[in-house]
Amino acid sequence: MASGGGVPERPTLEGLEEKWSEIWERQGAYRFDREAPRERVYAIDTPPPTVSGSLHVGHVFSYTHTDAIARYRRMRGMQVFYPMGWDDNGLPTERRVQNHFGVRCDPLVPYDPDFKPPAEPSQKEPVAVSRPNFVELCLELTETDEQAFEQLWRRLGLSVDWSMTYTTIGKLAQRISQRSFLRLLRRGEAYQLEAPTVWDVDFQTAVAQAELEDRERPGAMHRVRFAIDDAQAQALIDTTRPELIAACVALLAHPDDERHNELVGRQALTPLFGTRVPVLTHPLVDPEKGTGLVMVCTFGDLTDVVWWRELGLPVRSVLGPDGRLLEVPWGTAGWESVDVETARARYGELQGRTVNQARRRIVELLQESGDLVGEPQPVTHAVKFFEKGERPVEIITSRQWFIHTVEHHEELIARGRELSWHPTYMRARFEDWVEGLSGDWSISRQRFFGVPFPVWYPLDASGAVVYEEPILAREEQLPVDPSTDVPDRYEPQQRGRPGGFTGDPDVMDTWATSSLTPQIAGHAGEDEELFQKVFPMHVRPQAHDIIRTWLFTTILRSQLDYDELPWRNAAISGWVLDPDRKKMSKSKGNVVTPMHLLEEHGADAVRYWAARGRPGTDTAFDPQQMKVGRRLAVKLLNASKFALADLPPEGETVTHPLDRAMLARLAAVVADATARLEQYDYARALEHTEEFFWWYCDFYLELVKGRRYDTSPQAAASVSLALRLSLSAFQRLFAPFLPFVTEEVWSWWQQGSVHRALWPDAAELAGAAAGAERNGEEMALAVTADVLREVRKAKSQARRPMRAPVRRVVVRDTARRLQALELGSDDLVAAGAIELLEPIEDEAFAVEVELAPETP
RNA sequence: GGGCGUGUAGCUCAGUUGGUCAGAGCACCUCGCUUACACCGAGGGGGUCGCCCGUUCGAGUCGGGCCGCGCCCACCA
């Protein structure tokens, strides 16, 4: 490594980032050596950030934590496998591409090799493009973003091996995703099913349970009258979704609710449409809600699905994938009515309308028919949304691929307990989520920019799709895109023809690929030698909000494919919060971009702020802390300069009591920091190191100044050695947190990179100070510092400079402490400019300071 | 409604097994250009440790109950 060639006259932080990033890159400072044995490998399952615009402060925060861990492990002599992935597939990219280029994907449009996006993108009237053209635009945009991301990470000083990047849309990720899927399918762990599925009507795709969130929305409760047995009696139900009355398949009461005994077992007639539906019971009905009677529709919510399944009810679907009411065949099987013509006419008023439009209209119809009791009552209720969506999700029956999860509950809980969680309480979030899972994982998405299912289906003589006999791709073919690739034994022109084939049109859920990051980064099935070295990995760093998605699905896939944990540790980071304790919002994050922060405060300073954030704990965004970090970096520069510039020759051993005591304390700090880092508690490692470092500068360096500048070699021998030992340790202790400034000061006097140097050894330092406790040397340092503090106080209160001479200092203290003070008195009188030090034995510590008169 | 976490000086936070634990930094005030550092140093003011019970000789520190905040979950009637 290049040597800085001695201590500069005026050390500065300016330019260190450019200088050292460039050198690190040239020297391959962070290159992973795959020849290392497995025992010396430390593998990190780096989170691939979503490439959908820009990184924000939260990324800087959590990636810094991981980098501190990576640097620590490297200094422990490990070969750190630290790749970087870009999560570029999926909806965020699609949405960004649509907005950026003013296009929308239409799978029916043919590919145009000469396509150019519109010069003036219009989001109101997007240009329809083919799926291959759309994918090309996605790849173009993500490539640009990924370069910008890499620049930021390098500027932040992440010690990533940049020769090992991957993208979740790349060929490697596609092969691994498809191969895993095919194997799951063969083992029966993946299956296809036509079933009610949670559906986003804007994106027009199925979404998984994990991608849902509740949002409070205003709504209205409508009390609706159902006639019983052709108007002999009536039933009243409350509903927020009257537009689904045509989809009603039953009314339900709780089995113990005697109020409805008369009705149970009879038939009710839906208002407006006159369809007969049974009145049944189910224990899930809450007698406290509404009238105690509930309308079951196919499907208004997830509970409807439970009732429908458990009671064997028929399906009457009225909602289409676009969120509008479908055309339905009144008068045919399943759509019977006591008055078909009226039903058809009234439904005609709703057909084609969106849910909200239909709801407004049906309320009017119910009012006209007299089936609405009273006025709709406004309510606020939690409604399920796709986390990226803008309208509530619906439940639509469709054909989807699933992966078994429910039947693996117990194995997954057991794996969660094998994993070391940092902090430990995060395990509860995992277990809560697993316990609460109600269905298998739906992995199909009706989208475009994702990993396709490597599956085709034969078409029968009538051209109907034979889903029961999927044609699977061979593993050697992967990755395949069934929309353009042709299965074995078929010709391209047979696509879509009777007796021919068709490709599975769907792509995999983004988590279905992200759940394989250890396999992708480790090249599972492609470079088995590498994979065996790195898998299972050592740590998964990630934030707490995606335990239910990324962490959970990764454990699931590893369990299914390898029957073991994908990693040993989970290091969970918190979020960055606004000063008002809300999650840092996108808009604010864009105002304060990470690059601006780095430019204003410097990478080490920003990293300092991040590293002070406790594992798992949300942390306030605080530029003030970055200023503190910058001060620390400057202090390290200056302290290193003091300790190293023109230092007199060092002795063989550290002999002075205060030097030895300082090293003993340092040894304890090293031991503490090491233990903390072993437990992934980078924050306390930094805090304790920093705390001691400031003490070291304020007291130790001041105390030994006299000896350090002493012209006699004997006087300086001990302190020279102690300064070198301590500075060397400090520089390495701070290296995981402040990589740039530590590399700079290290280069002044050492060979090679500090980031490849071995982590300081507490035992070695303790050895150099052996017996410091027993000999009273540690007490000497404590008492000396106590007295120095009193002397400074006296000078400060007398408004005198710190170098002002002191005529006499009387120290009252116990015999033991006074004895110890004697060991450090030479440094004390020098540092305090004390003429006479007078110890007096006493029970309590007290100091009298008599300053020399001020000389004009 | 359930789970987890959190509530300590104006701000950001330390306080490991209950007894110098009432702290640090920032901010504020005062002083000092001392040969590592003025991107500095020295000193100072400032808190009934969310609230209420309890255990204990003694509780930010343990137990119970409230309240606030955050995240996750829950059957949208």
pLDDT score at A121: 83
With a 7 Å cutoff on the CB, does A328 touch strand B? no
Residues of chain A below pLDDT 50:
1-4
**Are the beta carbons of A246 and A347 closer than 8 angstroms?**
yes
What residue has token string 């864009």?
A590
* Contacts with A387 (C-beta within 8 Å, 6 or more apart), sequence order: A211, A212, A213
With a 7 Å cutoff on the CB, does A576 touch strand B? no
With a 7 Å cutoff on the CB, does A672 touch strand B? no
How far, in Å, CA of A633 to CA of A682, rounded? 17
Is the N-terminal amide bond of A536 cis, ω within 30° of 0?
yes
Is the N-terminal amide bond of A423 cis, ω within 30° of 0?
yes
Q: Please, what is the angle between helix A739-747 and helix A603-611, to 10°?
A: 120
With a 7 Å cutoff on the CB, does A223 touch strand B? no
Residue A679 DSSP one-character state: T
Closest nt to A252 (CA→C1')? Answer: B77
Report which of A569, A740, A773, A750 is spatially closest to residue A662, judged by C-alpha positions.
Answer: A773
CB atoms within 10 A of CB A398: 18
Closest nt to A697 (CA→C1')? Answer: B36
How far, in Å, CA of A778 to CA of A667, rounded? 12
pLDDT score at A581: 58
Round and report the angstrom distance from CA (A55) to C1' (B13). 26
Cβ burial A582-599 (10 Å sphere, 16+ → b, else e): eebeeebbeeebbeebbe
With a 7 Å cutoff on the CB, does A532 touch strand B? no
**Are the beta carbons of A269 and A227 closer than 8 angstroms?**
yes
Closest nt to A395 (CA→C1')? Answer: B76
Closest nt to A635 (CA→C1')? Answer: B37
Closest nt to A845 (CA→C1')? Answer: B20
Nucleotides of B under 7 A from a protein CB: 2-6, 11-15, 24-26, 30-37, 39-44, 69-77
pLDDT score at A855: 66
**Are the beta carbons of A480 and A508 closer than 8 angstroms?**
no
Residue ranges of alpha helices (H) inside A227-325 are: 302-311
Round and report the angstrom distance from CA (A704) to C1' (B17). 37
With a 7 Å cutoff on the CB, does A642 touch strand B? yes
With a 7 Å cutoff on the CB, does A720 touch strand B? no
The interface pTM score, or ipTM, of the predicted complex is 0.94
**Are the beta carbons of A643 and A731 closer than 8 angstroms?**
no
Give residues 781-820 of chain A lying near strand B (Cβ < 7 A).
789, 792-793, 795-797, 799-803
Q: For the purposes of burial, counting CB atoms within 10 Å of the CB of A201, is it exposed (0-12), middle (13-18) or buried (19 or more)?
A: buried
Phi, psi dihedral angles at A236 (to 5 degrees): -115, 135
pLDDT score at A231: 62
Phi, psi dihedral angles at A15 (to 5 degrees): 85, -5
How far, in Å, CA of A408 to CA of A560, rounded? 9
β-pairing, A276-281 with A248-253? parallel
Closest nt to A549 (CA→C1')? Answer: B72
Q: Please, what is the angle between helix A131-156 and helix A16-27, to 10°?
A: 110
- Helices and strands counted in chain A (H then E): 26, 30
- Alpha carbons within 13 angstroms on the beta-carbon side of residue A173 total 26
Give residues 199-218 of chain A lying near strand B (Cβ < 7 A).
209-210, 212-214
User: Which residue is closest to B35 in terms of CA–C1' distance?
Assistant: A709
Phi, psi dihedral angles at A133 (to 5 degrees): -65, -40
Closest nt to A620 (CA→C1')? Answer: B12
pLDDT score at A843: 85
With a 7 Å cutoff on the CB, does A295 touch strand B? yes
Round and report the angstrom distance from CA (A793) to C1' (B31). 11
